[in-house]
Amino acid sequence: MRQAGTESQVSEGQFDAYSVDAAYDRGEAVCVIGAGMAGLLAVKNLREQGFTVDCYERETAVGGSWNWRHDRSPVYSSTHLVSSRTHTEFPDFPMPDDWPDYPHHSQVLAYLERYTDHFGLREHIWFGSEIARIEPTGEGRWDVIVKPVSGNAARRLRYSAVVIANGHNWDPRMPSYKGQEEFRGEIVHSSAYKDPSKVRGRKVLVVGAGNSGCDIAGEIAVNAEKCWHSTRRGYWFIPKYMFGRPGDQTMARLSWLPFGLRQKVSEFAIRRVVGDPRRFGLKRPEHALFASHPIVNSHLLHHIGHGAITPKPDIEYFTEDAVHFTDGTSVKPQTVVMATGYRTTFDFCDPALLGMQGADAAPSLIGHMFASKTPTLAVAGLLQADGGIFPLVHWQTVAIAKWLRLRQSDPEAARQFWAKVSPDAGRRYVHGKLNDSPRHRLEISYEVYLKALGRMIEELDGVK
Amino acid sequence: MSRLDLLRLSDRREPVPHAARELLTSEPDEPAGKPTLLFVGGDRRGAQIFAEHWLAHAAGRGFPAYALSVRGQGKSAGIKGDLRAWASDVAQTAASLPAQPVLIGHSKGARILAEALGRYPARAAVFVAPRLGRLVPPTPAGSPPTLIVGDPDDKRAPRQSLEKAAAHYGVAPLFFQGAGHEMMLAAAWREPLDAILDWLDGTVVKE
């Protein structure tokens, strides 16, 4: 109610009014979009560099994807981390060391809430606020149009920079197979799948072999009457524990080996420990280990071995009551769960700003962070990695904050830095051969990326 | 400063296991909006030396005050550890407090503090009679305001080592002639602590 005075300039229902309104200038303040993991890191690390920060969050609480209470959250009741605790925690805010190796999603949310309060971030976050539009003003500054989630009393504010941290696991990617509309059973995206009680006693087909597809298939297997799992390709399944330790710790112990050799040793170990996927009726992986981010899952093969999951190849078409696969077989599920991932969506800005060409294209950014044409626009957390991404995003936001600071404190050094990193737009940070399909464009190897980020931060710090 | 280590392979390969930690507390009667203090000692007595006078006095001035015994100290004496484990104990404890604390390390505890600053962005850092040895401290996370306090006549943390530590962090040391090495237990324990708290009032509490 306090804001009624300012909001009355934009009359109800007159949605275009803000475009002519004068912007409220927030001076050197930085705008952060989203208060999920990446947004919180951005707020904290920008504050640490001395910036005033306004963070806008659509929901009424922090946590983004991990905030299971809101309907855009992709988590299901049994979601656990797939990278171990010490590979996942923020480098400067450890998770409690008496937590399990693989914390539950509710612990991850509790961790993000603690981080928020510990560093006093809440006072910088405007909840229930959506970003309608961001527009460059021309002098490197940004006009941001903020509107409340309920109501349309939009406001135009001007910021010195914008950090986009809106996440990439909230806009469901629904495939469309031939005949899908005629299917009379239920088709849901995995984002709508929350807990196994809904599938009890039903026949369920799970589509997709990402980490969530395999997790969900395992959960449905023990609850539903029947579970089929359709996958398109062969995958590497890395067990959650190898040689008595979380798999990522075991892998890190091999990191003294040259990458190619490490890949061979790991492939050998996985073949020996997990076995040949073809014995389980799955395809053999076509790509080398780590060439695409691995599936960390110990129970999928276990359930297949116990007959609780029947593996199926790719879907060819749907009919009224059945799903037909490319090998000519068909099944009659009552529910189909599409664990087919999420689209990267920025509905509040011109995709060209982020170097996106075409509808389903991935952004082309410098170091997976900076928009190459607009140095005061950055994206945090737009990554898929072969390890926990929290520490990567921490260092991303440190680099972003230091970059914005350098621009103000030493324009000449900033110009040199920008000239040096600019040619890196769209560069891939992976080991050896890479899987270059559009959906793998966000993938990086954490080792390669952290080394590159470290060099970038040292350069911003002026270390020669 | 040493080079940045973003990868932290030792923690990725072999995380420090959990250990029970002794934490002594003295809270102010009324919340005064002042930052939380976390003291770290350098020998087997651990947190105990701060409980004598300093914790209560700091709390009396409105600072919620905590003192930690890392593994190998005080009540946690039975558990073995190394510098990485001790620093992890400090970072774990700091992160478990409701608000970002000021970290204060005494004597060899300053070495643990220097290491811990690489992995936790303290609100501010205070080195009391620091004995850093040959440690090349990592770059502190979040560049906290730093204060070095000592007695120039202290044999265990002599003037030149105070000056070396101060130069490393780019600050000037604050000298208390005659305060001794264990100034929290000395007859004049109040003076250096008040100076530290005054400095915090001026640097951190501003708003």
- CA neighbor of A252 nearest in space, from A262, A241, A239: A262
As given in the structure block, the two tokens for residue A57 are: 């969050």
Q: What is the mean pLDDT of chain A?
A: 89
Mean pLDDT for the stretch of residues B171-190: 94
Helix axes A105-118, A37-48, angle to 10 degrees: 20
**Angle value at C-alpha B48, between B40 and B97, nearest 5 degrees:** 50
Report CB contact under 8 Å: A91, B141: yes
Q: Which of A362-376, A428-442, B111-125, B170-184 has the lowest mean pLDDT?
A: A428-442
Q: How many C-beta atoms lie closer than 10 Å to residue A455's C-beta?
A: 16
Is the pLDDT at B107 greater than 70? The verdict is: yes
Report CB contact under 8 Å: B13, A457: no
Q: Which residues pair with A366 in a beta bridge?
A: A370, A425
What ipTM was reported for this prediction?
0.95
What are A220-250's pLDDT values in tens digits?
999 999 999 999 988 888 889 988 999 999 9
Report CB contact under 8 Å: B99, A118: yes
pLDDT of residue A464: 46
Is the pLDDT at B170 greater than 50? The verdict is: yes
- The answer to whether A409 contacts chain B (CB < 8 Å) is no
Report CB contact under 8 Å: A92, B142: yes
Closest Cβ–Cβ partner in A85, A94, A114 for B91: A94
- The answer to whether B36 contacts chain A (CB < 8 Å) is no
Mean pLDDT for the stretch of residues A61-72: 91
Report CB contact under 8 Å: B98, A93: no
Which of residues 175 through 234 in chain A touch B, CB cutoff 8 A? none
- The answer to whether B14 contacts chain A (CB < 8 Å) is yes
Report CB contact under 8 Å: A119, B143: no
A-B C-beta contacts closer than 8 Å: 79
Q: Which of A19-23, A219-223, A320-324, B178-182 has the lowest mean pLDDT?
A: A19-23
Q: Which residues pair with A370 in a beta bridge?
A: A366, A378
What is the least distance, in Å, from the CA of A107 to any CA of chain B?
A: 14
pLDDT of residue A434: 59
pLDDT of residue B2: 56
What are B5-36's pLDDT values in tens digits?
899 999 999 999 999 999 999 999 998 899 99
What are B118-145's pLDDT values in tens digits?
999 999 999 999 999 888 899 999 999 9
Q: How many C-beta atoms lie closer than 10 Å to residue A327's C-beta?
A: 10
Report CB contact under 8 Å: A120, B99: yes
Closest Cβ–Cβ partner in B7, B16, B99 for A97: B16
Report CB contact under 8 Å: A252, B96: no
Instruction: Please give the distance of CA A431 from its chain centroid, rounded to a whole number.
Output: 21
Query: Residue A435 — pLDDT band, cuts 50, 70, 90?
Result: low
Quote the CA–CA distance of A52 and A46 in Å, as a whole number: 8
Mean pLDDT for the stretch of residues A450-463: 92
Query: Residue A284 — pLDDT band, cuts 50, 70, 90?
Result: confident
- The answer to whether B121 contacts chain A (CB < 8 Å) is yes
Query: Residue B207 — pLDDT band, cuts 50, 70, 90?
Result: very low
pLDDT of residue A1: 34
Query: Residue A438 — pLDDT band, cuts 50, 70, 90?
Result: low
Closest Cβ–Cβ partner in B12, B100, B119 for A118: B100
Mean pLDDT for the stretch of residues A415-430: 91
pLDDT of residue A2: 38
Report CB contact under 8 Å: A93, B95: yes
Is the pLDDT at A436 greater than 80? The verdict is: no
- The answer to whether B10 contacts chain A (CB < 8 Å) is no
Query: Residue A21 — pLDDT band, cuts 50, 70, 90?
Result: low
What are A348-371's pLDDT values in tens digits?
999 889 988 766 677 889 999 999
Q: Which of A130-134, A379-383, B5-9 has the lowest mean pLDDT?
A: B5-9
What are the CA-CA distances from residue A22 to residues A2, A9, A143, A218, A232 (Å)? Answer: 20, 10, 10, 55, 53
Which of A41, A46, A47, A92 is the mutation pick for testing B, counting most B CBs within 10 A? A92
Which chain A residues touch B6 with a CB distance below 8 Å? 91, 391, 395, 450-451, 453-454, 457
Report CB contact under 8 Å: A454, B100: no
pLDDT of residue A439: 62
3-class SS of residue A20: coil
Which residue of chain B has the CA closest to A118? B99
Which of B8, B13, B14 is the mutation pick for testing A, counting most A CBs within 10 A? B13
What is the least distance, in Å, from the CA of B17 to any CA of chain A?
A: 7
- CA neighbor of A235 nearest in space, from A254, A214, A263, A266: A214
Query: Residue A14 — pLDDT band, cuts 50, 70, 90?
Result: very low
| Gap between the terminal Cα atoms of chain B | 30
Query: Residue A4 — pLDDT band, cuts 50, 70, 90?
Result: very low
Closest Cβ–Cβ partner in A98, A117, A255 for B9: A255
Mean pLDDT for the stretch of residues A395-402: 98
What are A29-48's pLDDT values in tens digits?
999 999 999 999 999 999 99
Q: Which long-range contacts (CB under 8 A, 24 or more apart) does B51-55 make?
A: B51/B24, B51/B26, B52/B184, B52/B185, B52/B189, B53/B184, B53/B185, B53/B189, B53/B190, B53/B193, B54/B184, B54/B189, B54/B193, B55/B24, B55/B25, B55/B26
pLDDT of residue A276: 82
What is the least distance, in Å, from the CA of B3 to any CA of chain A?
A: 8
Query: Residue A10 — pLDDT band, cuts 50, 70, 90?
Result: very low
Q: What is the mean pLDDT of chain B?
A: 94
Question: Could you give the percent of chain A with pLDDT greater than 70?
Answer: 93
Which chain B residues touch A386 with a CB distance below 8 Å? none
Query: Residue A113 — pLDDT band, cuts 50, 70, 90?
Result: very high
3-class SS of residue A32: strand
Query: Residue A326 — pLDDT band, cuts 50, 70, 90?
Result: very high
What is the least distance, in Å, from the CA of A10 to any CA of chain B?
A: 34
